[in-house]
Amino acid sequence: MTSLPATRPEKRLGLAIDLDTCVGCHACATNCKEWNTGGISGPLTDVNAYAAEQHGVWFNRVFTYEVGGEGEAGRTVHFPKNCLHCENPACVTVCPTGASYKRSEDGIVLVDHDKCIGCKLCSWACPYGAREYDEVQGVMKKCTLCVDKIYNQNLPEEDRVPACVAACPSKARHFGDFADPNSTVSKLTAERGGYDPMPEKGYRPTSKYLPPRPGRRGAAPAATAATASLEGAGRFLKWVDRILTR
């Protein structure tokens, strides 16, 4: 089985994903697919790409849930799912060939495809469903945190972020070093109560989820008052005001 680094990495690179601002547009998933298809894990294969039974390899998947019950208490939450680059990853320690490994310099968890035999033990060990089996190549693949992009000296420094972060239109994804208490991801995690999924498993994900904020539906009475002030306006202006104050 594969061993973890003897000492805790000085850097702990990961993502802070804001469930309050994610709009479920799938830009993170599609840009991730585009970048990594041509990167070190490429190609990210698809089977029957234009048929009803299409399936393939995706490092980011976005799920949508209705939570909180019905009525004003309910809300829609979009939940992006990708590798969390755990500090104690079971996917690494169960690997019989050393193909799955955790980098000692920055904590990123990767797969060496030349060593992978496609046994799928890592996918069974991962409770977060972050491993993908490439049935065309017969190996396991996963989010690399765009390691070939974040260290690319040919790119401007502001572009050295994972593809999913660069593409997010609502700024719901943040990249940085969790070992640095002054980094954006560390501050957001502290301010917003960032959490680990299934902490009882003890895998200690590096990446964190920022929980949705409480709803703001209490603003409805103000909208009613604003509409009342337009008694002399035409029907069109009233309609525009009603739409903008929802």
Which tens digits make up the pLDDT trace of 110-133? 999 999 999 999 999 999 999 999
Asked, for residue 148, whether it belongs to a domain, the answer is yes
Asked, for residue 114, whether it belongs to a domain, the answer is yes
What is the H or E stretch that residue 22 is in?
Answer: none
pLDDT 10s digits, 3-35: 899 888 999 999 999 999 999 999 999 999 999
Q: What letter would DSSP give residue 5?
A: P
Looking at the predicted structure, is the pLDDT value of residue 222 above 60?
no
Asked, for residue 6, whether it belongs to a domain, the answer is no
One domain, residues 155 and 239: no
- Counting Cβ atoms within 10 Å, is residue 216 exposed (0-12), middle (13-18) or buried (19+)? exposed
**Are 245 and 238 within 8 A, CB to CB?**
no
- Measured CA to CA in angstroms, residue 241 lies from 64, 149, 228, 237 at distances of 30, 45, 10, 6
How far, in Å, CA of 71 to CA of 220, rounded?
14
One domain, residues 206 and 92: yes
Q: Which domain holds residue 96?
A: 13-215
One domain, residues 195 and 239: no
One domain, residues 111 and 229: no
Q: Is 36 in a helix, a strand, or coil?
A: helix
Asked, for residue 1, whether it belongs to a domain, the answer is no
Asked, for residue 186, whether it belongs to a domain, the answer is yes
Average pLDDT over residues 164-183: 97
One domain, residues 106 and 128: yes
Asked, for residue 223, whether it belongs to a domain, the answer is yes
One domain, residues 148 and 206: yes
